Structures are given as C-alpha cells and as structure tokens.
Amino acid sequence: MEALTQLQLAFDAVLGLALLWLAWQTLASPELFRAIVLFIAFGLLMALAWVRLEAPDVALAEAAIGAGLTGALLLTALSRLEPKNKSKIPHSKKPESEVDE
C-alpha cells in the first residue's frame, strides 16, 4: 500500500511539472501553430489533473471546452490568417499587368 501511495505522489509531481512546462512553452512559443498544439495538450493534461482531484465533471468540461472546442476555434482562426511572407499589395493599386492604358 505504501508503494502505491508513493507511485501516486510521483505521478502527481510529474503531472504538475508537465503542466508547468507546457504552460511555459505555450506562452514562450514564437510559432502560433506550435503554441496552439501545446495549448491543446495543456488542456488534456489539465483534464487529467481534475480527474486526479476527483472532479470528473470539471475534467469532462475541461477536455471538451478547454482542449476540444477552444483548440478547434484557435486552429480555424490560425488558418484564416494571412501568411507573413506574402507581399502586401494595397487593394487600390492594380498590378502592372492589369493597368488600363
């Protein structure tokens, strides 16, 4: 029984450290796609933490809303952003091939 308690304590410590590391990596990531994927992973590990705290209703809500729905919305928003390396042409000017002479 003592070994099981130490194993649970070790699992909880690793889970807490993983949550802190994921949170830091999510905030410090310069790439948006990587930050979103890390955010989704953070939400799933957070749901596991809620299960360990014996709050299954909160864990289900965290997994469904925090990781699932929010992650999908963030990925959709990211796909609608313009790429940075695309040259920005003002809409009022036409390219030289379309200029009326």
pLDDT of residue 33: 94
Helix %, strand %, coil % of the chain (to 5) = 75, 0, 25
pLDDT tens, position by position, 46-63:
999 999 999 999 999 999
Residue 99 pLDDT greater than 60, yes or no: no
Domain ranges for the chain:
17-78
Sign, Cα dihedral of 49, 51, 56, 59: positive
**Better-scored residue on pLDDT, 8 or 99:** 8
Q: In the block, which residue shows the tokens 């990531």?
A: 29
